[in-house]
Amino acid sequence: MGFSLHRLQNIGAEVRDLDLRGPLSDDLARDLYSAWLDHGVLLFREAGTSKDIHLRLSRVFGELEEHPIKSLLVEDEKELIALGEKKGAPVLFDDQLWGGFIFFHQDTSYTPNICKGSMLRMLRKPERGGDTIWTDTAKAYAALPPSLKERIADLSAIYCFRSGAVERRYGWSEHAVREAPAGHVSEVQIPDFPLVSHPMVARHPESGIGSLLISPLNFVHVEGMEKSRGDALYEEIVRHALRPEFAYHHKWSVNDLVLWDNRRTMHCALGYPYEQTRIVHRTTLHGPMQTGHYYRANVSEQSEKA
């Protein structure tokens, strides 16, 4: 094998001793792909020294797709988005104005089919903050009490696109996060995304392993349940999934590349002081998990629950 693997904490592995100067052989690509399926998150420490390496390594894991938020696309690149070049709306994080905070989510869960995975490359890190946490939603599902597994087996939840502070943070009490005072607007243009519905449990299309399909940043309500009961159930599931033993907390170095399997993880960008800058590039792997569908609530239900 043309690389060595070193386990990260709780989920993921670091890939070392990999030569990224030229094209990778088919055997090497196959071994990397299988390591990714096994570990869910792969870290290539300080290996992303160019856009070409980022794109070439991403393509080992599948075809790349154009992100649905076109305003984030890197100029002349259909397969790369930049996060942090345009400032999003800040939040108040422990009473400080904080940028780039994105609560736990699975990428593109506001569309009917969540994407296969993504790879981030750190271009410019802030002096403080900017960390990312990944959580293993397959391990979290396996560790659920059987009674809870049964309760959510046939349930689906409704999701919308959302950025900024999230009112319900599901027992995540480490930090106080609130809406920033009025007057701060996002520079990122976001199209309208209709509500979608996803099952709360899904089988991984390649490994067949069961996993929680949850994206609390985007959550609206549990389909077909009275709102307070559904919210309480969702909270119980998310609180369980956010237990520290399922999580890997990454402190970035410039040029780090991190790849994750979006079908068995969720992640949270912890943000950084708003006046500072953090720029990452991201590729998105095509090959969606076809779990969801557009949700057509009647008007009164939508206004009551959204």
Q: Which window, 93-101, 104-112, 233-241, 288-296, contacts Fe ion (CB under 5 A)? A: 104-112
Q: Which residue is nearest to Fe ion (CB)?
A: 107
Number of residues binding to Fe ion, judged by CB under 5 A:
1
Sheet strands side by side (includes 81-83): 4-7, 13-16, 41-44, 257-261, 117-124, 279-285, 81-83
- CA-CA distance, 17 to 221, in Å (whole number)? 46
The nearer residue to Fe ion, 20 or 241, going by C-beta atoms, is 241
Nearer to Fe ion among residue 107 and residue 261 (C-beta): 107
CB of 1 to Fe ion, least distance (A): 30
Least Å distance, CB 105 to Fe ion, is 6
Write the DSSP string, 217-241. Answer: TTEEEETTS-HHHHHHHHHHHHHHH
In the complex, least distance from residue 267 CB atom to Fe ion, rounded to whole angstroms = 6
**Is residue 107 close enough to count as binding Fe ion by CB under 5 A?**
yes
Does 261 engage in binding with Fe ion (CB under 5 A)? no
Radius of gyration of the chain measured on its C-alpha atoms: 19
Spatial CA neighbour of 98 closest among 110, 108, 106, 89: 89
193 sits in which H/E element:
none
What is 130-165 written as a DSSP string? --EEEEEHHHHHHTS-HHHHHHHTT-EEEE----S-
Residue 25 or 71 having the CB closest to Fe ion: 71
- Mask: binding to Fe ion, 56-95, rule CB under 5 A, as x and -? ----------------------------------------
Q: How far is the CB of 107 from Fe ion (least distance, A)?
A: 5
CA distance 224 to 221: 9
Among the listed ranges 23-31, 101-109, 127-135, 198-206, the one in contact with Fe ion (CB under 5 A) is 101-109
Least distance (Å) from Fe ion to the CB of residue 51?
A: 20
Contact between residue 213 and residue 291 where contact means Cβ atoms under 8 Å apart: yes
> How near is the Cβ of 52 to Fe ion at its closest, in Å?
23
The answer to whether the CB of 127 falls within 8 A of the CB of 138 is no
Binding positions for Fe ion, rule: CB under 5 A: 107
